[in-house]
Structure 1
């Protein structure tokens, strides 16, 4: 079996969201990975920590762009940043 790590867990959770799972539970993620749900708690303290990591991963490209542009992007760049945030975050992930 492949090594269990945060990336594999996040990938499984994101896949569940992409196929329309409305409530990504620790049990659902564990089932998708073929492991016991308790194993997930070594990597994420609870379901909220997993959700936070999913949001962070989803918005990582936006955070990276914002960092490259500096702490205070110019007025012209703010609409582009907002548009990028909307494009990379499908509605199912924003619940």
Structure 2
């Protein structure tokens, strides 16, 4: 198991079904000052979580492929945020929209 202080956890909830959004494809990118660089990609597990290795603070972008999860007007959800180790992203998704927040330790 990864050290959560050296990683970013994204937890997704399917707000229509009231359960974790399992198998939601997510990609994490880091801004290097000029362009976005891919960190890692994968899909949320059964608990609706995916953990990315992130060792340093900076500007990041999480891209969730909601259109691969269900039919929606928001096929890709992009969340751009300033990250410090230990932060966690909470994402609630529905076919009609989404909400997100950054949880800090």
The TM-score normalised by the length of structure 1 is: 0.22
User: Of Structure 1 and Structure 2, which has the larger fraction of its residues in helix?
Assistant: 1
The TM-score normalised by the length of structure 2 is: 0.21
Larger radius of gyration: 1
User: Of Structure 1 and Structure 2, which has the larger fraction of its residues in strand?
Assistant: 2
